[in-house]
């Protein structure tokens, strides 16, 4: 038995949540949850058995019978309480997240806070789940619509936002009257489980929220299960495509938010200081492990002269463990992730890009075993190079050039991904042209990471998204409900008989 395995036997096991109870899995397959800054084992997470997945779904199905009829105000009040509990426990949640995922403490709080915004949105479900009515569509006939819950829904979440993305999913699903089975990332499930504990404390009833852990087998079981009506996924393109195809084939409603290559276009008239700060923060924050990271910058015209300033700004970032004050860039999630990113950097050099700043093997005193990569910048990058064509998912910024805004737009539109893009300029005309002509679902103007607040929906597009409805906002209410249209007529006792009507018209 290796040292890591010996340590693992002394730590707590992450539980499943089935029918309102946190239970020990009977699985024989477990994975260590490892602090990426130290390699210390924090916990063990089970890969749930088929019977345990079935039990979670069965509990959700039983709970749906009564939960769907719970008054909408009662559902809303649970999420009012839930948002209060999240706020009260913010520091604890951020500390757990930092320990298992590696983010800096301020970034971890941001992770929780962006999820909290969706919880607050769920508390307004009374205004969001309204139907429509048309009076007197024919003589004495009214038509109205109801937005009714689907049943048991499920969510599969990634490692990079273990608080925010679960909170994108189960609060809106539950608030709209569904029950839910959640599968968090097996790499960092601890903060998710603490959020689940708080949800139960807020009043989510027995069986309405269930949690199973695992890998591919559990994902497939969720996709195939006949009693699950909808599946929401956020993660890699490879897994997301598999989930979409498999769950769709099983007749489920599916939404998959997947990988991306997000371009930031810099025009020469942009505010230089603000733009440099925005690029550095968006490229290297969270160690580049964001699906919305600005991992690619397109420097237009004279903005190409800004490369030395950009490199100098990136050099000022502090690489360290997330718990250390002043840290800007923490570790990537795992040893395998670090090796993968280092492989990309080596490929970039071999393919002829200019390595302006090399972040491999930074010196991080006291954390020599951590999965650290410092800010890395390549210039002279062109389509066809692996560092441009693939999502690196690490603190690596690649720089391309274009002679005009039109050329930059054509470059971005030729890329298969459409998650997000940004333009830095002081020209309103250029900004308007960019937002009109760019074929990307989420656009920032002088905003490097244009993730919308929950009043709006997350709207990534093209190869970054499968399914036509996005998470949170108005679209997710439609995703988690089905529309029922009722056409009705009532007769008074003394109403004259209208006679037989053999046409399709209403009279």
Q: Are 449 and 282 in contact (CB under 8 A)?
A: yes
With vertex at residue 213, the alpha carbon angle to CA 192 and CA 253, rounded to the nearest 5 degrees, is 90
Distance of CA 380 to the CA centre of its chain: 31
Beta bridge partners of 486: 144
Between CA 14 and CA 174 the distance in angstroms is: 23
Q: What angle do CA 341, 347, 349 make, to 5 degrees?
A: 110
* CA 129 remoteness from chain centre: 23
Largest CA distance in the chain: 90
Query: Tokens 């109801």 — which residue?
Result: 146
CB within 8 Å of 431: residues ≥ 6 apart = 423, 425, 445
How many degrees, rounded to 5, is the angle at CA 355 between CA 270 and CA 372? Answer: 95
In sequence order, which residues have a C-beta less than 8 Å from that of residue 59 and are 6 or more positions away? 18, 19, 20, 206, 207, 210
Contact 396, 374 (CB under 8 A): no
Is 223 a catalytic site residue? Answer: no
Q: Which of 153, 223, 291, 335 is catalytic?
A: 291
State the catalytic residues: 291
């Amino acid at each position: 038995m290796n040292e890591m395995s010996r340590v693992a036997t002394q730590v707590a096991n992450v539980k499943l949540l089935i029918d309102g109870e946190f239970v020990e899995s009977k699985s024989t397959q477990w994975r260590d949850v490892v602090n990426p800054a130290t390699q210390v084992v924090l916990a063990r997470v089970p890969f749930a058995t088929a019977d345990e997945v079935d039990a979670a779904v069965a509990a959700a199905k039983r709970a749906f019978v009564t939960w769907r009829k719970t008054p909408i105000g009662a559902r809303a009040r649970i999420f009012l309480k839930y948002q209060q509990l999240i706020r009260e426990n913010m520091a604890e949640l951020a500390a757990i997240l930092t320990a298992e995922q590696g983010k800096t403490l301020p970034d971890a709080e941001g992770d929780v806070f962006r999820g909290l915004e969706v919880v607050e949105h769920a508390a307004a479900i009374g205004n969001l789940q309204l139907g429509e009515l048309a009076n007197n569509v024919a003589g004495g006939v009214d038509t109205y619509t109801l937005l009714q819950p689907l049943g048991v829904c499920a969510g599969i979440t990634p490692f990079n936002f273990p608080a925010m993305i679960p909170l994108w999913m189960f609060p809106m699903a539950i608030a709209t009257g569904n029950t839910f089975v959640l599968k968090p990332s097996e790499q960092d499930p601890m903060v998710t489980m603490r959020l689940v504990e708080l949800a139960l404390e807020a009043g989510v009833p027995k069986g309405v929220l269930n949690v199973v852990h695992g890998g591919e087998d559990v994902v497939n079981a969720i996709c195939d299960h006949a009693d699950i009506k909808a599946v929401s996924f956020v993660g890699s393109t490879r897994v997301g495509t598999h989930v979409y195809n498999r769950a769709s084939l099983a007749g489920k409603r599916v939404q998959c938010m997947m990988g991306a290559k997000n371009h930031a276009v810099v025009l020469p008239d942009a505010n230089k200081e603000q733009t440099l700060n925005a690029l550095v923060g968006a490229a290297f924050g969270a160690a580049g492990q964001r699906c919305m990271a600005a991992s690619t910058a397109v420097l237009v015209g004279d903005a190409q002269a800004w490369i030395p300033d950009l490199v100098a700004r990136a050099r000022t970032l502090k690489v360290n463990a997330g718990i250390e004050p002043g840290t800007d860039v923490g570790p990537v999630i795992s040893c395998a992730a670090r090796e993968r990113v280092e492989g990309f950097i080596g490929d970039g050099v071999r393919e002829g890009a200019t390595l302006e700043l090399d972040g491999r093997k930074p010196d991080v005193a006291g954390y020599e075993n951590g999965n650290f990569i410092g800010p890395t910048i390549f210039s002279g990058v062109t389509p066809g190079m692996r560092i441009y064509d693939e999502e690196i998912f690490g603190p690596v910024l690649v720089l391309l050039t274009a002679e005009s805004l039109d050329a930059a737009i054509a470059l971005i539109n030729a890329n298969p991904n459409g998650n997000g893009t940004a333009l830095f300029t002081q020209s309103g005309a250029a900004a308007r042209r960019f937002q009109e002509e760019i074929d990307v679902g989420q656009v920032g103007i002088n905003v490097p990471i244009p993730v919308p607040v929950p009043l709006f929906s997350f709207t990534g597009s093209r190869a970054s998204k499968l399914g036509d409805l996005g998470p949170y906002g108005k679209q997710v209410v439609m995703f988690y409900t089905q529309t029922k249209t009722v056409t009705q007529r009532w007769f008074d006792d003394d109403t004259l008989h209208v006679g037989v009507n053999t046409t399709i018209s209403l009279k």
